[in-house]
A and B are shown apart, each in its own frame.
Chain A
Amino acid sequence: MNPTAGLSKSRLLVTVLMLVAGAFMIVPFLWMISTSFQSASEVFSRWLPSKLDWSNHKRIWTGNYNFVPYYMNSLKVSLISTAGAVFLSAFAAYGFARVEFKGRNTLFLVYLSMMMIPPQVIFVPKFIMFNWMNIYNTHWALILPGMFSIFGVFMLRQFFMGVPREITESAFLDGAGHFKIFFRLILPLAKPALATFAIIDFSWHWNDYENALVFLTSPKLYTIPLGLQNFILENNVDYNGMMAASSAAIVPMIAIFLLGQKYIIQGIASSAVKG
Chain B
Amino acid sequence: MKRHSWMRKQQWAGYAFILPNMVGILLFFIIPALFSFGLMFTNYQFANPNVSFTGLDNLKRMFQDDQFYRAIKHTGIFLLSVPVSLVLAFLVALVLNRSVYLKGLLRGMFFLPYISSGVAVAFVWMLLFQPSHGPINEALRWIGIASPPGWFADSDTAMYAIDIVQVWFMLGYNMIIYLAALQEVSAEQMEAATIDGAGKGTITWKIVWPLVSPTTFLLLVTGLIMTMKSFAIIQAITQGGPSGSTTILSLYVYKTAFSYYEMGYASTVSWFLFAVILVITIVQWIGQKRWVHY
| Interface residues of A, Cβ cutoff 8 Å to B | 10-12, 14-15, 18-19, 21-23, 25-26, 28-29, 31-32, 35, 43-44, 88-89, 91-92, 94-96, 99-102, 104, 107, 110-111, 114, 116-129, 144-145, 147-148, 150, 153, 169, 172, 177-179, 182, 203, 206-207, 209-210, 213-214, 224-225, 228-229, 232, 239, 242-243, 245-247, 249-250, 253-254, 256-258, 261, 264-265, 268-270, 272-273, 275
Contacts and interface: CB of A to CB of B under 8 A. Distances in A.
Nearest to A146: B28
Nearest to B133: A44
B58 interface: no
A178 B14 CA distance: 9
Given A22-B109, A209-B119, A124 B263 contact: yes
Grouping DSSP codes into helix (H, G, I), strand (E, B) and loop, the A interface class, with mixed when no group exceeds half, is helix
B145 interface: no
Contacts, number: 282
Given A28-B121, A210-B231, A250-B121, A272 B33 contact: no
Contact of B176 (A257, A258, A269): A269
Interface residues of B, number: 100
Given A31-B135, A117-B33, A104 B121 contact: no
Which one of A12, A99, A102, A213 has the highest number of Cβ atoms from chain B below 10 Å of its Cβ? A99
B283 interface: no
A117 B29 contact: yes
A91 B20 CA distance: 8
B120 A91 contact: no
Contact of B236 (A11, A206, A224, A229): A229
B13 A246 contact: no
Contacts of B254: 120, 123, 210, 213-214
6 contacts: A11-B99, A28-B124, A207-B116, A214-B258, A246-B124, A269-B177
Contact of A246 (B6, B120, B266): B120
Which one of B15, B127, B171 has the highest number of Cβ atoms from chain A below 10 Å of its Cβ? B127
B250 A118 contact: yes
Nearest to A23: B109
A154 to B, nearest CB: 12
Interface of B: 3-4, 6-8, 10-18, 20-22, 24-25, 28-33, 35-36, 39, 46, 92, 95-96, 99-102, 104-113, 115-121, 123-125, 127-128, 130, 133-135, 138, 168, 171-173, 176-177, 179-181, 184, 215, 218-219, 222, 225, 228-232, 235-236, 250, 253-254, 257-258, 263, 266-267, 270-271, 273-274, 277-278, 281
B101 A12 contact: yes
